[in-house]
A and B are shown apart, each in its own frame.
Chain A
């Protein structure tokens, strides 16, 4: 059953191209349609469902947090309506879904090429940011091009795919020093991010690199060394890097009466197990960044700790679903790119949740797919789109006869 449309819509027509105009127009429409059916057949629908659920949680969460942030950010000249951020979020979300859809339509090679191009472009912008960027909250991360956006947001997924590509050379030629090469790319990227400074993203990139390098087969004793290196990096950051020191100090030292972390914690626990109900939260009004960094706390207050645990489990499901499927993959680039992108999403989500649950010092990192968007929403949707693209798989194929992985 799968053979017929594939044959008809693909090579055959192309080979017999230019028969006559009327025919061609219908086939072209058929081509589009066909591409979509193939997409639908190959896409990981479970992953798509999880992403959809997270986005829905995000819409509700932003609706809950919107009023608090709108009041906080209203000025004498300009009053923001209660649902300002909600409507903005919906707008960004629609654009994000479009981006995600477009990216997921890409064939794997195109996805890779696009990512590498994007990485190169964003790299240039990252170099430029310290000079032309605008400063917010003591960090120079933003570039104004019409709307302002953070190049680092788009650099993250592009960098990940690029890294996967570099590391996948290993199977072509074991002589290539892929570790050193990828390490160098990472070092330069982290250096640029530290200039901004953006400690959180730098950490995230290190994490992705580490996971990919482990995946591609770094001996475990070297993994141990790398762990030591990370600890050394954090200690180093503490001593030589003001922004990081302040945040770590805030976290470790007795939190001041009205520190953000403390406020977030009070908000999170105020709802008890089942929450106070939508728009019934009180503590959120005192919370800065209620719609972005601390949206999980707002969800906790209004929908309860059960909802918070549910979101943690959803993110876990997302990552485990992707990795489980990939553990049966026999193409190294696909495996690495998928693992890297999943780690990127999962890592950011887990760091944000850990911050909200007071397990981690404040990072200034949003909760992917849930926090209020803007350009970062588009970047995250692009990440998901790329993830969907590289994990596309013909369901009627069995994998190679390599060590048994799960069949689907």
Chain B
């Protein structure tokens, strides 16, 4: 080694220091040793500082990368492949009815889109705009050629036509202009048109579901991991169609403003059909459709009138207040409570028993039973039936009942017993009737199809024996009372009419009614509750100039049940009947007809 050791340690080092030793030797430089040492020292000092700066720069870059990774972890990470690939996945999941019939599905439709960039930098069109416009007008005769030419010449990307048929798309292809591309765009299609429109809702231009189950299921219908599976509703589209058809027919007959209806499984709470009329077309939402989206069955609260009477009687029987149906109540003159008097539409009899109260729909009689029951027990039963909260259903629009909180005065107890001073939705009433006839268990209503193990346990409102008694009384109303028009032969239907005056300015308006028929069938083993409701029906020739529920709502049920019964597995049987032998004699003896 040629270098001269500069210090004691230097000669002993490895390769690391040889270079330094060489560099320090005088051979390579013209500068004086002193200046050189200064320069070396100052350069090195600078270099060391700068190296630290560069290290800091790298640390900063690392921080940026790690931050980016963290961001990806928090916000990113949408997606794995689905086994069949993204291409086969619908843009929005399908909604089907309980039997798998599609009610809402994806549908690719063509749009005529002008894409001036299709030629990648060249002129948008290969031919003059006028010629292309003329060829387009050949295909779409209703388009304005001059306007089309102007739009093509503008060179701006735009829709020329929003929806075109496949064969029209083929003819557009034949023009041979790359800029005229009919892209297939996803759109939502409701194969059954208006059917169950209020249940389904619609998909807006924003791509989100609105109003019905489209809104409720929006997340699972759009999430790539779940939208491949269809959403199954409890609705049976055949039953729904029959319900809507007959309600609409009745609406025409009675010239009503609107109608509502519901078919509910008494044992599970599944809503098999739910209709609010007039309805809208979810395939084509316009201003008129928007106005009709209000759901009468779940969102509008009504004073449902006499349909409440069986509930009050059931509460009294259940509480042991009415132990004998033959017990009579005076009904010969209006019942005075303070300054208020409760009347019947006509005098039914001086003394009438419980079955007579129901079949003739006596306000005076029911009010006395409720009075005996007392406000505490009356209110508790109504609470147990869910009348103090919004109805249980998935739909976003659910009306809050008009419900008197706090301790009920005696008069409120009495008016509630015949359905005044309390306003609930028809859906509330359906769930309550299901509890009254199914053995006494109240369950929340649902629009989702339930498997047997998904059926909620529910809560007991009435005793089994009360329920059995009420089935007899409801049947009696149809065989011998106001519900006769609903008595579809062989279906053992039972139910109660209700015709309530609509509240208006400063009291009730005698001319406008809300008529309801709440029923269940078959009464020897109830399976379904059917409720129909008309808003402001009129007396027409078709309804024998009558406006009350017996002539419209009950008549509709009488037409609906024979249609839907067989679809639901209930066939008419003239040889079967609920045993009425212990209650019917009470009517014959009373002689109040």
Contacts and interface: CB of A to CB of B under 8 A. Distances in A.
B61 A357 contact: no
Interface string B55-97: 1001101101110111011001111110000000000000000
Contacts of B55: 319-320, 323-324, 327
Contacts of A211: 54
Interface string B1-32: 10000000100111111111011000011110
Contacts of B66: 309, 312-313
Given A316-B59, A331-B23, A397-B9, A273 B39 contact: no
A107 interface: yes
Interface in B416-432: none
A321 to B, nearest CB: 9
Given A268-B72, A402-B45, A403-B45, A339 B40 contact: no
Contacts of A283: 79-81
A217 B29 CA distance: 20
A330 B14 contact: no
A372 interface: no
B51 A282 contact: no
A335 B44 contact: yes
A199 interface: no
A319 B58 contact: yes
B327 interface: no
A326 interface: yes
B47 interface: yes
Given A172-B29, A316-B59, A108 B47 contact: no
Chain B interface residue bracket vs A: 35 or more
A41 B80 CA distance: 50
A269 B76 contact: yes
B15 A392 contact: yes
A405 interface: yes
Given A268-B72, A319-B58, A330-B20, A3 B12 contact: yes
B46 interface: yes
A42 interface: yes
A343 B54 contact: yes
B541 interface: no
B16 A309 contact: no
A375 B41 CA distance: 40
A260 interface: no
B48 A173 contact: no
B12 A171 contact: no
A346 interface: yes
Contacts of A335: 44, 47-48, 51
A270 B19 contact: no
Contacts of B16: 42, 108, 334, 392-394, 397
Contacts of A396: 9
Given A172-B23, A335-B47, A323 B69 contact: no
A173 B81 CA distance: 64
A359 B53 CA distance: 23
Contacts of B18: 107-109
A170 B79 contact: no
A266 interface: yes
Contacts of A273: 73
Interface string B343-366: 000000000000000000000000
Nearest to A270: B80
B36 interface: yes
Interface in A296-325: 305, 308-309, 312-313, 315-316, 319-320, 323-324
Given A282-B81, A320-B59, A332-B47, A174 B39 contact: yes
B69 A402 contact: no
A42 B14 contact: yes
Nearest to B75: A269
Given A313-B62, A323-B54, A350-B65, A38 B14 contact: yes
Interface string A104-115: 001111001000
Interface-central residue, B12, B41, B47, B48, by most chain A CB under 10 Å: B47
B66 to A, nearest CB: 5
A333 interface: yes
Given A3-B12, A214-B54, A392-B16, A305 B59 contact: no
A112 B22 CA distance: 14
B404 interface: no
Interface string A328-361: 1111111110010001001000100110010100
A25 interface: no
Given A2-B12, A326-B51, A357 B69 contact: yes
Contacts of B465: none
A137 interface: no
Interface-central residue, B29, B52, B65, B80, by most chain A CB under 10 Å: B65
Contacts of B61: 316, 350
A305 B44 contact: no
A79 interface: no
Contact of B58 (A171, A266, A320, A394): A320
A397 B13 contact: yes
B43 interface: yes
Nearest to B57: A211
Contacts of B15: 42, 106-109, 389, 392
Contacts of B249: none
A389 B14 CA distance: 11
B31 A215 contact: no
Interface-central residue, B59, B72, B81, by most chain A CB under 10 Å: B72
Contacts of B70: 305, 309
B496 to A, nearest CB: 59
Contacts of A331: 19-20, 23
Contacts of A74: none
A7 B1 CA distance: 13
A134 interface: no
A394 B17 CA distance: 8
26 contacts: A2-B12, A7-B12, A38-B14, A42-B16, A109-B18, A109-B22, A112-B19, A172-B29, A269-B76, A282-B80, A283-B79, A305-B69, A313-B62, A320-B58, A320-B59, A323-B54, A323-B55, A327-B51, A329-B48, A330-B44, A331-B19, A332-B40, A333-B19, A343-B54, A350-B65, A359-B68
Given A108-B15, A350-B58, 19 more contacts: A109-B18, A170-B39, A171-B40, A172-B31, A272-B73, A272-B77, A283-B81, A308-B69, A309-B65, A309-B66, A323-B55, A333-B23, A350-B62, A357-B69, A357-B72, A359-B68, A392-B15, A403-B45, A403-B48
- Across the A-B interface, the 6 shortest Cβ-Cβ residue pairs: A107-B15, A316-B62, A323-B55, A269-B77, A269-B76, A217-B46
